[in-house]
Amino acid sequence: MPTLYHHPMSSASRFVRLILAEYGFQTDLVEEQTWEKRREFLALNPAGTLPVYVDDNMRVLSGPNVLLEFLDETHGVLKRERRLLAEDPFQRAEIRRLTEWFLLKMERDVTLPLTRERAYKLQMSAAHGGGAPDSKVLRTSRANIRQHMKYLSWLAGSRPWLAGERLSYADLAAAASISVLDYLGEIDWQETPVAKEWYQRLKSRPSFRPLLAERVRGLTPVSHYADLDF
């Protein structure tokens, strides 16, 4: 069976897990703590980043965008209306743009700083940078959440799905990032009812169930995290 090296609080890892689940793939999951810089893991991906996918023939694919394109070219084109990348070139460009927005810009502005301070540092040793959260980083990241949620609300309110008429990689990228922040209780859903309705639709999909059932060692999720009608 293929293997996916991931971390449960990595939005890029969650994104790829959602893709695999939507396309009906089963994989063995190996939790990787990238800050440990294991020699065996770096042999698979010298960049030391997640996720990393190893197929049955021991071929290695690294990174969410690489996996997005590979899975679309090998399987998505056969899914017709369930394909996660559009047939129209302009629509494909929009899906890729929004996927990059959530996995790169939102990751840089919000998701990664909060996850590092509130989750990763709990698992890190002092030598790897573990310890108390940096309050300045927390304040800055939390100040950025509102603007990203406003943009998400605008997208969700102006289109059936974030990038167009049907579910796409853009929705899965956004949901992966939002689910990490929601686990941490960082989103005020009362301020963003349109985004909340969109997220409820994503949470109700079978592909989301493994994420909602998962727990991070030493870090309990917010009480509504797994509730579909939160």
pLDDT tens-place string over residues 120-159: 999 999 999 999 999 999 999 999 999 999 999 999 999 9
Q: What is the pLDDT of residue 148?
A: 98
Q: If residue 17 lies in a helix (H) or strand (E), which one and from where to where?
A: helix 11-22
Question: Is 188 found in the same domain as 98?
Answer: yes
Residue 33: give its domain's CATH number.
Answer: 3.40.30.10
- Its pTM stands at 0.97
Nearest to 95 by CA among 72, 119, 112, 120: 72
Report the amino acid identity of residue 27: T
- Tell whether 200 and 123 lie within a shared domain: yes
Same domain, yes or no: 26 and 48: yes
Alpha-carbon Rg for the chain in angstroms: 17
Q: Which domain holds residue 26?
A: 3-82
Same domain? For 142 and 121 the reply is yes
Count of the separate structural domains present in the chain: 2
CB 95 within 8 A of CB 87: no
Q: What is the dihedral of CA 182, 72, 154, 206, to 10 degrees?
A: -40
Same domain, 55 and 94: no
> Residue 77: pLDDT above 90?
no
Cα gap 92→76, rounded to integer Å: 13
